[in-house]
Structure 1
Amino acid sequence: MTDNRIKAAVIGAFVADALSLGVHWVYNTGVIDKKLGRVEQYYDPLTSYHKGKKAGDFTHYGDQMLVLLESVSGGGFDAHRFAEMWRRFFADYGGYFDQATKTTLANMDAGNGLTKSASDSDDLAGASRMAAVIPVYHDNLEQLVSAARAQTRITHSDDRVLLSADFFARSVFAVLGGQPPLAAMQKTLDTHFSDSSIASLISTGLESRDRGTRETIAEFGQMCSVEAGLPGAVHLISRYANDFKTAMVENVMAGGDSSARGMMAGMVLGAAHGMEAIPEPWQTGMTAGQRINTRLSHL
């Protein structure tokens, strides 16, 4: 395991979100083709959901992952600290508030407690922030799994979202340990999730690796839910196990909630191939790039 690949797991997730911004929640892929062509660079958002954002910025998913990264800079993951920073971040946030965020904030305001206010949302996005905890727990599987689940649980209480965080934590740990991405996911499924409620979703993603991405994602669903996003992320990792850039571009070209599934795929493929696999313009073009690198250097 190298620091290079640990860093790439984090940067890989961030660039996936930044690349998605331009077409995030554009479900008509014909619009993507017509307006931008093949998306291989950062663009201002086409939709009004991310009004005010500019090329190189993050969606609200990436913004939350940055809050998580800054929270672990204080000495490991602490659920209360992250929840407090997350709530404070949204107090004057000018970006999009999804339903999970609105519900969690309302529950916090109602006095449910910072760590006991999660929505019942089944969006994969709650788990997709998890790359930010890798730098502090890359050498301890159980702590990585615990932190991945706990950070998810601040905003998402749905069991399959929590299981998704668990699955990807175990998979990326195995990849950082030297296993190829496909083998890591297959072994993680066989050893820990074969009887779980997400087993069929993982299997469906793995079995789709020889199929085209746009049609596969359309069949799974382009939506935010675990039902659609989990097999979509597994498909991307499986089909492009040796090609980080193509995985990220094909993800965006498939439309819909490209950010959540892309963040998971970017994390695992970044861990597999290191910083060299991530295009330099994507690294330098992130608005928060220097801020992220500073945090990572401290960790």
Structure 2
Amino acid sequence: MSENRIKAAVIGAFVADALSLGAHWVYNTGVIDKKFGRVERYYDPLTSYHKGKKAGDFTHYGDQTLVLLESMNGGGFDAHRFADRWRTFFADYGGYFDQATKSTLANMDAGNGLTDSASDSDDLAGASRLAALVPAYHDNLEQLVSAARAQTRITHNNDRVLLSADFFARSVFAVLGGQPPQAAMQAILDAHFSDSSIAPLIAMGLKSRSRNTREAIAEFGQMCSVEAGLPGAVHLICRHADDFETALVENVMAGGDSSARGMMAGMVLGAAHGMEAIPAAWQTGMTASRRINALLDHL
């Protein structure tokens, strides 16, 4: 397992979020075509949800992933440390507050405790931060899965979101260990999730490999929920298993919540192909590029 591919798992998730920003939450794919053409570079956001953001910035999902990465502090994951940093970050945040964030903050303010205040949101985004854990736990599956579930539970205490974090943690670990992405996900489904509530969603994504991405994601749903986002992310990984760049471009072109599903795909495909597969302009064009690289060097 190379440091190159470990780093690429993290950078892959971040560039997926940054690439999504321009068309994030644009559900009409005709509008994406008209306003952007093919989204192969970073753009200012089209919608008012990300008012004040600029090309190369992150959505609120990427911003939270960076908070998680910073909370690792050269060591392992600590739920209280992450929750405290997460709460402090949102105290003066100028970006978008989704319902999961609002609910969690309200629960914290009501005195429910930093690690006992999560919303019941079923958004995949709670799990999609997990790439930040990979540098610390790339060699310990049990710890990676535990940390992935724990970081998710800070904001999303929902069984299917927690299961999604578990599934993708196992997937990126297997791919870092040399397994092809689709084979890894199929084996993980069979061994660990066959009787779970997310099994049909994983299977849908796996079976859709030969389909056009925009059509497949339109059928799954473009929404934020696990119901839509999980099969969409699995589809992207399988359909574009050999092409990191195309996977993330096609993800954005499919519209809707392209960030959450894209971050999962970027993480797994980054782990599969390494830094060489990630366009240099995407790496350097991130506003937080130097900050992220400094944190990764430290970790």
Q: Does 1:245 align with 2:245?
A: yes
Counterparts of 1:115 and 1:78, CA distance in 2: 10
Q: Which residue of 2 aligns with 1:261?
A: 261
Q: Which residue of 1 aligns with 2:183?
A: 183
What TM-score results when the alignment is normalised by the length of structure 2? Answer: 1.00
Counterparts of 2:259 and 2:73, CA distance in 1: 24
Q: Percent identity?
A: 86
Local SS of the residue matching 2:189: helix
Post-superposition CA distance 1:66-101 (Å, at most 9, x none): 000000124210000000000000000000000000
Cα contact 2:283–2:289 (8 A) shared by 1: yes
How far off is 1:183 after superposition? 0.6
Counterparts of 1:4 and 1:75, CA distance in 2: 19
Matches within 5 A, 1:16-165: 16-165=16-165
Letter of the 1:168 counterpart: F
What TM-score results when the alignment is normalised by the length of structure 1? Answer: 1.00
Counterparts of 1:49 and 1:176, CA distance in 2: 35
Counterparts of 1:250 and 1:151, CA distance in 2: 28
Counterparts of 1:81 and 1:197, CA distance in 2: 31
Cα contact 2:74–2:298 (8 A) shared by 1: no
Counterparts of 2:33 and 2:242, CA distance in 1: 25
Once the two structures are overlaid, the 10-residue window that deviates more, 3-12 or 71-80, is: 71-80
Q: Which residue of 2 aligns with 1:280?
A: 280
Letter of the 2:136 counterpart: V
- Structure 2: state its 5+ residue gaps: none
Q: Does 1:289 align with 2:289?
A: yes
Letter of the 1:6 counterpart: I
Cα contact 2:4–2:275 (8 A) shared by 1: yes
Q: Which residue of 1 aligns with 2:6?
A: 6
Counterparts of 2:296 and 2:169, CA distance in 1: 19
Counterparts of 1:167 and 1:74, CA distance in 2: 25
Counterparts of 1:213 and 1:183, CA distance in 2: 19
Counterparts of 2:261 and 2:63, CA distance in 1: 16
How far off is 1:42 after superposition? 0.1
How far off is 1:7 after superposition? 0.1
Q: Which residue of 2 aligns with 1:211?
A: 211
Counterparts of 2:169 and 2:285, CA distance in 1: 27
Cα contact 2:232–2:261 (8 A) shared by 1: yes
Post-superposition CA distance 1:144-201 (Å, at most 9, x none): 0000000000000010000000000001100000000001100000000000000000
Counterparts of 1:74 and 1:51, CA distance in 2: 33
Post-superposition CA distance 1:188-240 (Å, at most 9, x none): 00000000000000000000000000011000000000000000000000000
Counterparts of 2:73 and 2:113, CA distance in 1: 23
Letter of the 1:43 counterpart: Y
Counterparts of 1:73 and 1:215, CA distance in 2: 42
Counterparts of 1:17 and 1:110, CA distance in 2: 31
Letter of the 1:46 counterpart: L
How far off is 1:61 after superposition? 0.1
Cα contact 2:128–2:260 (8 A) shared by 1: yes
Query: What is the total number of aligned residue pairs between the two structures?
Result: 299
Counterparts of 1:71 and 1:145, CA distance in 2: 17
Matches within 5 A, 1:222-237: 222-237=222-237
Cα contact 2:45–2:54 (8 A) shared by 1: yes
Moved over 3 A (4+): none
Local SS of the residue matching 1:290: helix
Counterparts of 1:73 and 1:4, CA distance in 2: 20
Letter of the 1:146 counterpart: S
Counterparts of 1:75 and 1:181, CA distance in 2: 28
Letter of the 1:280 counterpart: A
Counterparts of 1:175 and 1:183, CA distance in 2: 9
Letter of the 2:6 counterpart: I
Letter of the 2:142 counterpart: E
Cα contact 2:133–2:148 (8 A) shared by 1: yes
